[in-house]
């Protein structure tokens, strides 16, 4: 596999809810480069978690993947058996969630939990694993790591617990880390520290990360490129600066409209009139149409295809854009 090839390529990925046939994710395509932080942003219900869970092979039973490829380092995960996908999760794929306790065993010391990963996934001896846990705790900036390995999760703060979960994710040396709202449950100061840590890990260790968040401040500080999801479809993909300086999709513009610049205090998504349509009420054409101030009859005919409108910049909207080019490779 060439080093220049993307680490992850998602191509035409769709998921459906039970027998309804409603597409929760609809023909999602993007790529993630090695060592890149690719942000995924959108309002609640836009399909961010669904995307992360689909890549991890962790869909709830009522939802199934119906088409598309998920190619990680040259291998199509969508073709794997559940057992082989599980093995990938232990080794090549790791996920961290908003609430660290979902990943931690409350009655087991935190050091022992990370040690288990090292012994099982990297075949380390107990003695080597114990040393490695301390090194990992130091790497994720847990103070007094030699002492903290013996703590139980309830003896730690939320921020420290999330550091343990990040250490546990790193222990397996995954190719891809999927982080779903990793700082949302933490207070603002701790959020900033965890984001700094993730950014450092990305820089120092070339960690590749799909960073899911509803927080544009997190995106501005952490992501290299961004996917904007709306109601299960890609609205726009752009390098982070382009997204903030020249958003092309009316939905992205609405999201950004209350944010004057990319630096400064963190902002929550502005509220846009209306809500993301539920899976039972998805419009046939552009899914943003019921809320879009630029809506016109042509928007209702079919899903607008993704168009290239700039360097690494694609948008799904029929409105013309001054930098339009013919459709080419996706970002």
Ligand X SMILES: Nc1ncnc2c1ncn2[C@@H]1O[C@H](COP(=O)(O)OP(=O)(O)OP(=O)(O)O)[C@@H](O)[C@H]1O
- CB-based burial of residue 86 (10 Å sphere; 0-12 exposed, 13-18 middle, 19+ buried)? middle
Closest C-alpha among 97, 102, 99, 131 to residue 114: 131
Q: Which is nearer to Mg ion, 214 or 225 (CB)?
A: 214
50 binds, among ligand SF4, ligand X, Mg ion, none (CB under 5 to 8 A by kind): ligand X
294 binds, among Mg ion, ligand X, ligand SF4, none (CB under 5 to 8 A by kind): ligand SF4
194 binds, among ligand X, Mg ion, ligand SF4, none (CB under 5 to 8 A by kind): none
- Judged by CB under 6 A, the residue of 1, 5, 44, 325 near ligand X is 44
CB of 151 to ligand X, least distance (A): 29
- Bridge pairing between strands 233-239 and 63-72: unpaired
Q: Which is nearer to ligand SF4, 158 or 290 (CB)?
A: 290
For position 214 contacting ligand X by CB under 6 A, the verdict is: yes
DSSP of 254-278? HHHTT---SSSS--PPPP-SS-PPP
For position 17 contacting ligand X by CB under 6 A, the verdict is: yes
- Bridge pairing between strands 233-239 and 313-315: antiparallel
291 binds, among ligand X, ligand SF4, Mg ion, none (CB under 5 to 8 A by kind): none
For position 303 contacting ligand SF4 by CB under 6 A, the verdict is: no
| Sign of the dihedral defined by the CA atoms of residues 321, 327, 328, 329, in that order | positive
Instruction: List interacting residues with Mg ion (CB under 5 A).
Output: 48-49
299 binds, among ligand SF4, Mg ion, ligand X, none (CB under 5 to 8 A by kind): ligand SF4
Site string for ligand SF4, 233-272 (x = CB under 6 A): -----------------x----------------------
- Judged by CB under 6 A, the residue of 32, 149, 237, 292 near ligand SF4 is 292
For position 182 contacting ligand X by CB under 6 A, the verdict is: no
- Judged by CB under 6 A, the residue of 14, 31, 46, 54 near ligand X is 46
Report the distance separating Cα 70 and Cα 53, nearest Å.
Answer: 12
- How many residues bind ligand SF4 (CB under 6 A)? The answer is 12
Containing 330, the helix (H) or strand (E) segment is: none
CB of 310 to ligand X, least distance (A): 26
- Judged by CB under 6 A, the residue of 295, 321, 324, 330 near ligand SF4 is 295
DSSP of 285-322? S-TTGGG-TT--GGGGSSPPPPEEEETTEEE--SS--T
Which of these ranges, 41-49, 122-130, 201-209, 293-301, lies near ligand SF4 under the rule CB under 6 A?
293-301
Contacts of 132 (CB under 8 A, 6+ apart): 118, 124, 171
Report the distance separating Cα 303 and Cα 285, nearest Å.
Answer: 5
For position 233 contacting ligand X by CB under 6 A, the verdict is: no
For position 21 contacting ligand X by CB under 6 A, the verdict is: no
DSSP of 110-131? HHHHHHHHHHHHH---HHHHHH
- Bridge pairing between strands 208-213 and 37-41: parallel
Report the distance separating Cα 146 and Cα 54, nearest Å.
Answer: 37
CB of 26 to ligand X, least distance (A): 11
- How many residues bind ligand X (CB under 6 A)? The answer is 16
CA distances 301 to 29, 274, 298, 305, 321, Å, are: 21, 21, 6, 12, 20
Site of interaction with ligand X (CB under 6 A): 17, 24, 42, 44-50, 60, 62-63, 214, 278-279
């Amino acid at each position: 596999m060439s080093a220049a090839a993307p680490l992850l390529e998602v191509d035409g990925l769709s998921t459906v809810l039970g027998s309804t046939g409603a597409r929760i994710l609809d023909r999602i395509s993007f790529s993630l480069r090695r060592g890149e932080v690719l942000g995924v942003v959108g309002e609640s219900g836009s399909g961010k978690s669904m995307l992360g869970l689909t890549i991890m092979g962790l869909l709830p039973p009522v939802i199934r993947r119906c088409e598309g490829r998920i190619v990680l380092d040259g291998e199509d995960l969508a073709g794997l058996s559940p057992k082989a996908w599980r093995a990938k999760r232990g080794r090549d794929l790791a996920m961290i969630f908003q609430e660290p306790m979902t990943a931690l065993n409350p009655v087991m010391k935190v050091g022992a939990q990370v040690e288990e990963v090292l012994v099982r996934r990297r075949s380390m001896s107990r003695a080597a694993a114990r040393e490695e846990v301390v090194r990992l705790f130091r790497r994720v900036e847990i103070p007094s790591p030699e002492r903290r390995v013996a703590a139980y999760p309830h003896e730690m703060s939320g921020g420290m617990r999330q550091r343990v979960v990040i250490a546990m994710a790193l222990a397996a040396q995954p190719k891809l880390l999927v982080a779903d709202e990793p700082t949302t449950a933490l207070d603002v100061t701790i959020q900033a520290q965890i984001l700094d840590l993730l950014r450092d890990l990305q820089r120092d260790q070339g960690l590749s990360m799909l960073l899911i968040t509803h927080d544009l401040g997190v995106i501005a500080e952490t992501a290299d490129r961004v996917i904007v999801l709306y109601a299960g479809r890609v609205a726009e993909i752009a390098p982070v600066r382009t997204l903030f300086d020249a958003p092309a999709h009316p939905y992205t513009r609405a999201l950004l409209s209350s944010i004057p610049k990319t630096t400064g205090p963190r902002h929550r998504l502005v509220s846009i009139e209306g809500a993301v349509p539920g899976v039972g009420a998805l419009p046939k054409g552009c899914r943003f149409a019921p809320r879009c101030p630029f809506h016109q009859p042509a928007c209702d005919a079919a899903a607008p295809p993704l168009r290239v409108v700039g360097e690494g910049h694609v948008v799904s909207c029929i409105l013309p854009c001054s930098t339009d080019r013919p459709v080419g490779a996706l970002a």
